[in-house]
Amino acid sequence: GGERGEVTVIFADVVAFTRLAQEHPPEQVVAVLNELFTFLTEIVFRHGGIVDKFVGDCVMAVFGAPYPQPDHALRAARAAEEMLCWLDSGNAKWRKELGSPLQLGIGVGSGEVVEGNIGSEKRMEYTVIGDAVNLAARLEHLARPGQVLLSRATAAAIGAEFEVRSLGEHPVGGRARPVEIFELV
């Protein structure tokens, strides 16, 4: 079961991970991912979020749960921006090790979800479920390297601290109608 709540969700995914995994030994790929995830986790925590899960080369973070935060969207936007800024620094090392930089595509969605323990009788985990989560994941898939895409709800909630630009309406997987997408500038 769970409770309804307003949250903002981030999906931050390593762009071109398949190529990275093909070109380098798995031990090296795991070491790089663990280092990247350590820094991304610290950024999420610094802004008051939680890391919901790691899905392969992607981090799912939640702001506004399990404890309500009226500024959850703003916290998430700050974290997404810091992730990209930090990546510029981390890439000085990874360019040497991997021969190319790591890049993230980030999707951010805000809205009502059910938060709580979800799973089976034998294995449960805390997570959030709802349309805002699905949309954030879809936006992450559409994001170009170094780009943060926002849902309309997130763009409206972050106020004047960030400049956002509408990219117009685009088809999004699983949606009957196109969705207006915003970019964090």
Q: What is the pTM assigned to this prediction?
A: 0.95
**pLDDT of residue 145 exceeding 90:** yes
Q: How confident is the model at residue 88 (pLDDT cuts 50, 70, 90)?
A: confident
The answer to whether residue 1 scores a pLDDT higher than 80 is no
Asked if the model's pLDDT at residue 90 lies above 90, the reply is: no
What is the pLDDT averaged over residues 157-180?
A: 93
pLDDT band at 98 (very low <50, low <70, confident <90, very high): confident
Angle at the Cα of 14 (from 13 to 17), degrees rounded to 5? 130
Q: Is the pLDDT of residue 16 over 90?
A: no
How far apart CA 127 and CA 118 sit, in angstroms, is 7
58, 140 in Cβ contact below 8 A?
Answer: yes
Residue 109 has pLDDT above 90, yes or no: yes
The Cα 83–Cα 81 span in angstroms is 5
